């Protein structure tokens, strides 16, 4: 017999899980300078998007991708440090690949931002 999805127990479990997830976000925000920079860059990009009246969805998705991958990168680094406290070539590959994923997402997020916001910013600058 399956549980009722709307039961208080499942809501309680979901809230507990959400609490753990939020604790992870807070821990990474406190410990990782790059994540803090990316969070504030996302706030700036989203604010600029709203002020310029540009389409929100591509900017939201790009920001979510970069921030999510940075969280995963931090998780990979923590696990690698736990299981391989001494330098190891495979540990380096794992850490570098996770960092590379963030780098690629950030690079393409900038391109999304330029394509969505660039024309509107150019119009403001060229009209002024």
Mean pLDDT within 94-101: 98
* Confidence (pTM): 0.88
Q: Is the same domain home to 25 and 58?
A: no
Is 70 assigned to a binding site? yes
- 45 shares a domain with 23: no
> For residues 63-85, b (16+ Cβ closer than 10 Å) or e, as one string?
bebbbebbbebbebbeebeeeee
Give the model's pLDDT for residue 95.
Answer: 97
> Any idea which residues carry the catalytic annotation?
70
98/59 same-domain check: yes
Find out whether 32 is annotated in a ligand binding site. yes
Tokens in use for 77?
């680094």
Q: Does 96 show up as a binding residue in the annotation? A: yes
Q: Residue 11's domain spans which residues?
A: 1-31
* One domain for residues 50 and 25: no
Tell me the torsion sign for CA atoms 106, 43, 77, 23: negative
Give the mean model confidence (pLDDT) for residues 105-120.
97
Going through 2-115 in order, the beta strands assigned E by DSSP cover: none
Q: Cβ of 110: how many Cβ atoms within 10 Å?
A: 14
Give the pLDDT confidence of 63-91 residue by residue, as tens digits. Answer: 999 999 999 999 999 999 999 999 999 99
Question: What local confidence, expressed as pLDDT, does residue 9 receive?
Answer: 75
pLDDT-derived band at 127, boundaries 50, 70, 90? confident
């Amino acid at each position: 017999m399956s549980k009722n999805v709307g039961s208080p127990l499942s809501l309680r479990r979901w809230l507990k899980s959400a609490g753990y997830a939020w604790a992870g976000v807070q821990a990474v925000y406190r410990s990782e300078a790059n994540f803090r920079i990316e969070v504030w860059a996302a706030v700036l990009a989203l604010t600029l998007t709203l002020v310029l009246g540009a389409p929100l969805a591509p900017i939201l998705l790009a920001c979510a991708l970069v921030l999510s991958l940075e969280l995963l990168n931090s998780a990979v680094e923590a696990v690698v440090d736990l299981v391989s406290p001494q330098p190891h070539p495979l540990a380096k590959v794992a850490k570098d690949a996770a960092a590379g994923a963030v780098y690629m997402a950030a690079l393409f997020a900038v391109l999304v931002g330029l394509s969505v916001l660039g024309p509107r910013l150019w119009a403001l600058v060229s009209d002024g």
